[in-house]
A and B are shown apart, each in its own frame.
Chain A
Amino acid sequence: MAFEKTLTQNVGNPDALTVAGYKKNGGYTALEAALKMEPDAITQAVKDSGLRGRGGAGFPAGMKWSFIPKIDKPKYLVCNADESEPGTFKDRLLMEYDPHQLIEGCAICCRAVGANTTYIYIRGEYTKAARILEDAIREAYQAGILGDSVMGSGWKLDMYVHMGAGAYICGEETGMLESLEGKRGQPRVKPPFPAVVGAFGCPTVINNVETLCNVPHILNRGAAWFKGIGTDERNTGPKLYAVSGHVERPGTYELPLGITFDELLEVCGGMYKGGTLKAFIPGGASAPILKASESHLKMDFDTLAKAGSMLGSAAVIVMDETTCMVRAASRLAKFFAHESCGQCTPCREGTNWMEIILHRIEAGHGHPNDADLLYSVSKNVGGNSLCALGDAAIGPVRSLVEKFRDEIEQHIREHACPVPVRRYFAAAA
């Protein structure tokens, strides 16, 4: 199967940072076409392609667009570039190497839903990406691609880059809106959903960077092309996999959605220094951990959901036999406890408590029933929190108890970490 890279076709091509260079590779033709299409036809094309949100939840993008009510109110597109989950670094690549692809995707989306303003909410630490995007947007304004008359159509579109201030919770869509409005970044209670009451009280579409980057290609090459890639009807298109951990060549890889983990590992050059796969996280810090025995699974939305994990942002963290799973989960729990916004009870108290328990187990001070306690606490957090952060926080913890219970119990029994000192450190010493 010959797979042609599309999203990352311009990576490594510095010309693509300019409008002219981007156009040389067929850039902005999709926007030109979109300007001549009925807005609903654009949405329909995206619906037909089966494009699902690449940010984590996997919600069908076309469906999300169609929820925007056709009312006489300003509408907004907010592009979620607050990529801050541990292990996730795919959007950064798209923004740093091909900013015009994102601008074009945003413009097409705005055209489809009738928005005249795009906010690109970018993670505060992504200063380089923000600078590149701002330069690109400035050039696009000068080239008449953005502004009062987009490509001479008379249709107005403004685009702004808004930098976050370092909170993971602002990647949650309503938390992002609050932050964008200048308030404390904490999720809102839903309903109402952002499609109805979003930024500044107006209908708002919120899409991930990668999702929007797919849109120009869908218009250029057609929904059928997009559907031709992937596992099945519901899992289509190219996907960026951000691979980190114990592999030979970590990095971001564009591959058809639904390749198996084994195939992905092969693309990345196999396990680091020939180690043995112990576990992997298929979709970023919030995805439940999978065991080595599950490496045959297809890395798509539905297969992983059925296996009790999730594709999430497709940030794959690979762990070999030198990894202490308790330590790994403890580190992830610490992240979520630190990033909880603190407004709802289960997440504020539960993530903190889980971190404390995991930390003491790892330090060799665990108590005999800590595994059960951990599981029970995670159960009380899951499903009861205000936003998805609570559910995300229990992913690694629950899967740890479910799949690596003996490792926890060994920690507690032996009052120490049973995993050997890391090979590489030992070798270096």
Chain B
Amino acid sequence: MPKVTINDRTVEVEPGTNLVEAAAKVGVQVPHYCYHPRLSVVGQCRMCMVEVEMNGRKMPKLQAGCSTPVADGMVVRTDTPEVHEAQKGMMEFLLINHPLDCPICDQAGECGLQDYSFKHGVAYSRFEFEDKRTYPGRERIPLGANVLLNMNRCIQCTRCVRFTQEIAGTSEIGFFNRGSHAEIGVFPGRELSNPLATCVVDVCPVGALTSTRFRFAERVFNLDKKPSICAGCDAGCNITIEHRRGKIRRYKPRTNPEVNDYWMCDDGRASWEKYRDRPRLTSPRVKDRATTWKEALDAVYQRVRSRSAEGATAILGSGQLTTEEAYLFAQLADQIGTPHRSVAVDPFPERRIPNLHGGVFGREAAPNRRGAEMAGLAARPGAFTADEFLNGDAASRCATLVVTDGDFGAAAWDDAAVARLRQASCLIVFSWADSPLAQAADIALPIATHAEKDGSFVNSQRRVQRFRAAFPAPGQVRGGVEVLSDLLARFDPAWAGLSPAAVFDRFAGQTPGLAGLTFGSLPPTGAALADTQAAGAEG
């Protein structure tokens, strides 16, 4: 493999690696705008100019790092006066026609122009006597439902053009006109409406493309950013939850080359909005009366412990549960001794998030059906299935029905479905939302959303991915694992005080294929489960 020396540090890299990537390997940051690891190299922004020496001979001109592949024995410098001069020059060129409207720009705080101005630019302007180039009437052009274009801020890096051509494959955006009038736009009669559309906002290094969903919602420097997993579907896109004091403002994709790479879909980005728009269940409720956790859990315990003549006790699980919660629900079912357990999942239009291995697919409206079933909630032969509860009359044959996630999908908000579930003599609902289902319940228990708790999901590739709470749950809301651990402790004190990590470790220890894994040692990109065992659990 070629060895290349960058700023006196030597590194061995794959043949064909470009100098931007090679420099990153030794911790040298080469500034760039148009280069993106997953998009074709165009060498347009000219920010990544570096000095290259080959066989003791310095190249007469600076070279663009993004379009120069490494060669064995190459000596690269990114810290010479010539390089700094070129970077300063490019920053100046990029800014002379930029509106510098940072105070009203959504990108301010995460803007490539701001960042590199501080690092590589100068603090004054020599473009004092000229009028800036503007694009009148092109300040807020909707490219599609989710993306707005402000052409004045654009630096013509064409990342968005290449994204729609090469990643989304839809080619809605094009580069029009020439010279200093060059501009970005959608082709006539088209609109940017592909499922990945908002990714162009992520790849845009400046404030030219902004998300209509996030526009003016928050200054980005006020946001707390916590890594998590998208719960919109079973693709399991890695995301960053960006919130301010527990109010989520947006989801951004977090790079995981094995799963969603750099991308995520627009539906996923909108999946947090239900937390904002729907009423929240904030305290335990028994028979429509707010109460304490102790009282509520005692009531649940009393109810599920006694076998009733009125019928069976059943647990209706959901794909929204974390694997750990599902495991404890399965333990609860074992304690009660009921075979009736199942996982309800809504269908979902199929989507594909592209990555280097062909993409990850999402087909279910919940993130973790697989994990919940692996953890012991898979329907057993002869027992009631989720479908029989949601569309049939299974509930009427139950003395006690425990619905484990009161927002497992449309059914919780659908009066007919709620009425069917209500036919159980006693309906116990665990829910983050004060949904019609929670309101109909005899006992409603507020549990945390996935943004407020630790846990793990198993996605459609059968990859276990860990996430942690982004912010604490409000009011009396508690994590599902804590609640269930309290409840199970009433059966056996050994269950008391369990954390999600402890539950995962216990579950992993008992599950073939997860052996050796612990919550703490799960790799950041997740752990793929073996296929053999996949077939069994999938069944």
CA distance A339 to B181 in the complex (A): 11
State whether the Cβ of A64 lies closer than 8 Å to any Cβ in chain B: no
Q: Is the CB of B90 within 8 A of A342?
A: no
**In the complex, what distance in Å separates the CA atom of A315 from the CA atom of B44?**
30
Query: Which residues of chain A have C-beta atoms less than 8 A from B156's C-beta?
Result: 342-343, 345, 348
A352 to B129, CA, bound (A): 14
Stretch at the interface among B61-69, B326-334, B359-367: B61-69
Cα A379 to Cα B126 with chains together (Å): 15
Which A residues are in CB contact (< 8 Å) with B129? 360, 367
Residue A201 at the B interface, CB < 8 A?
no
CB distance from A24 to the nearest CB of B (A): 46
Other-chain contact of B97, A344, A349, A373, A385 (Cβ < 8 Å): A349
What residues of B have a CB within 8 angstroms of the CB of A342 in the complex? 156, 175, 177-182
Check if B62 sits within 8 Å of A383, measured CB to CB: yes
Chain A contact-residue range equals: 20 to 34
CA distance A384 to B94 in the complex (A): 14
- Contact assessment for A340 and B155 in the assembled complex, using a CB-CB cutoff below 8 Å: no
Shortest beta-carbon distance, A176 to chain B, in Å? 15
Q: A348-B156, A349-B96, A349-B97 are in contact. Are A384 and B41 (CB under 8 A)?
A: no
**B89–A189 touching, CB < 8 Å:** no
B130 in the interface (beta carbon within 8 A): yes
Q: Say yes or no for A386: interface residue by CB 8 A criterion.
A: yes
- Find chain B residues with CB under 8 A from A337 CB: 179-180
Determine how close the nearest CB of chain A comes to the CB of B315; give it in whole angstroms.
Answer: 59
Most buried by A among B46, B62, B86: B46
Q: Is B449 an interface residue (CB 8 A)?
A: no
Interface string of B7-50 (1 = CB under 8 A from A): 00000000000000000000000000000000001111111010
Complex formed: what's the CA distance from A221 to B90 in Å? Answer: 51
Q: Which residue of A lies closest to B45 (CB)?
A: A345
| Given A367-B129, A380-B86, A384-B86; A344-B45 close (CB under 8 Å) | yes
A346: interface (CB < 8 Å): yes
A353→B94 contact, CB < 8 A: no
Judge if B93 is at the interface, Cβ distance under 8 Å: yes
A contact residues around B126 at 8 Å (CB): 373, 376
> When the two chains form their complex, are residues A343 and B42 in contact, meaning their CB atoms are under 8 A apart?
yes
Question: B93 touching A343 by the CB < 8 A rule?
Answer: no
Chain A contacts for B93, CB-based, 8 A: 345-346, 348-350, 353, 380
B127 at the interface (CB under 8 A from A): yes
A167 to B177: give the CA distance in the assembly, Å: 11
User: Would A189 and B42 count as touching, CB distance under 8 A?
Assistant: yes
Contact A189 B178 (CB under 8 A): no
A351 close to chain B: CB less than 8 A? yes
Q: Least Cβ distance of A305 to chain B in Å?
A: 13
Task: Tell me, in angstroms, the Cα distance from A343 to B178 when the chains sit together.
Answer: 8
Contact partners of B127 in chain A: CB under 8 A: 353
A349–B43 Cα gap in the complex (Å)? 16
* Chain B: number of interface residues, binned into ranges: 35 or more
A351 touches B92 (CB 8 A): no
B323 at interface by CB-CB < 8 Å:
no
Measured in the bound complex, the distance between the Cα atoms of B89 and A40 in whole Å is: 46
Q: Is the CB of B175 within 8 A of A184?
A: yes
Q: Does A341 contact B (CB under 8 A)?
A: yes
The reply to whether the CB of A271 lies closer than 8 angstroms to some CB of chain B is no
Given A189-B41, A189-B42, A384-B86: A167 touches B178 (CB 8 Å cut-off): yes
Task: Fill in one digit per residue for A342-373: 1 if any B CB lies within 8 Å of its CB, else 0.
Answer: 11111011111100100010000001000001
Residue B164 CB within 8 A of the other chain = no
Instruction: Find the B residue at minimum CB distance from A359.
Output: B130
Contact check: which of A340, A346, A376, A379 meets B46 at CB < 8 Å?
A346
Task: Chain B residues near A385: list those with CB within 8 A.
Answer: 46
- Is A352 within 8 A of B180, CB to CB? yes
Closest Cβ–Cβ distance, residue A171 to chain B (whole Å): 14
Residue of chain B at shortest CB distance from A339: B179
Please name all residues of chain B whose beta carbon is closer than 8 Å to the beta carbon of A343 when the two chains form the complex: 42, 44, 156, 158, 175, 182
Contacts of B67 in A (CB 8 A): 189-191
**For A386, what are the chain B residues with a Cβ–Cβ distance below 8 Å?**
43-44, 46, 64
Cα distance A80–B46 in the bound complex, in angstroms: 27
Closest chain A CB from B523 CB (angstroms):
36
- Smallest CB–CB gap between B334 and chain A, Å? 63
Residues from chain A with Cβ under 8 Å of B177 in the complex: 342
- Residues on B with C-beta less than 8 A from A348 are 93, 156, 179-180, 182
Q: How distant is A426 from chain B, measured CB to nearest CB, in Å?
A: 33
B92 touches A344 (CB 8 A): no
Closest chain B residue, CB of each to CB of A336: B179
Kindly state whether residue A291 has any CB partner on chain B within 8 Å.
no
Interface residue B294 (Cβ < 8 Å from any Cβ of A):
no
In the assembled complex, the Cα of A6 lies from the Cα of B263 at a distance in Å of: 62
Contacts of A175-234 to chain B: CB distance below 8 A? 184, 189-191
B178 touches A380 (CB 8 A): no
Output the least CB separation between A89 and chain B (Å): 23
Q: Closest chain B residue to A382 by CB distance?
A: B61
Give Cα distance in the complex from A350 to B42, angstroms.
Answer: 19
A384 and B49 in contact, given A343-B42, A345-B93, A353-B127 (Cβ under 8 angstroms): yes
Does B179 contact A345, Cβ atoms closer than 8 Å? no
Residues of A within 8 A of B130 (CB): 353, 356
**B459-475 interface (Cβ within 8 A of A):** none
For A338, the chain B residues whose CB sits under 8 A away are 178-179
B58 interfacial by beta-carbon distance below 8 Å = no
The proximity string for B residues 172-202 relative to A, scoring 1 for CB distances below 8 Å and 0 otherwise, is 0001011111100000000000000000000
B interface with A by C-beta (< 8 Å): 41-47, 49, 61-62, 64, 67, 69, 85-86, 89-90, 92-94, 96-97, 126-127, 129-130, 133, 155-156, 158, 175, 177-182
**Chain A to chain B contacts (Cβ below 8 Å), 16 pairs:** A189-B41, A189-B42, A189-B43, A189-B64, A191-B67, A341-B178, A341-B182, A343-B44, A345-B44, A345-B45, A345-B90, A351-B180, A352-B133, A353-B93, A383-B61, A386-B46
Q: Which residues of A contact B (CB under 8 A)?
A: 167, 169, 184, 189-191, 337-346, 348-353, 356, 360, 367, 373, 376, 379-380, 383-386
**16 additional contacts (CB under 8 A) given A169-B178, A380-B93, A386-B44:** A167-B178, A191-B67, A337-B180, A341-B179, A343-B158, A344-B44, A345-B90, A345-B93, A345-B94, A346-B90, A348-B156, A348-B182, A351-B179, A351-B180, A352-B179, A386-B46
A-B pairs, 10 with minimum CB distance: A342-B182, A380-B89, A349-B93, A189-B43, A352-B180, A340-B179, A189-B67, A383-B61, A342-B179, A343-B44
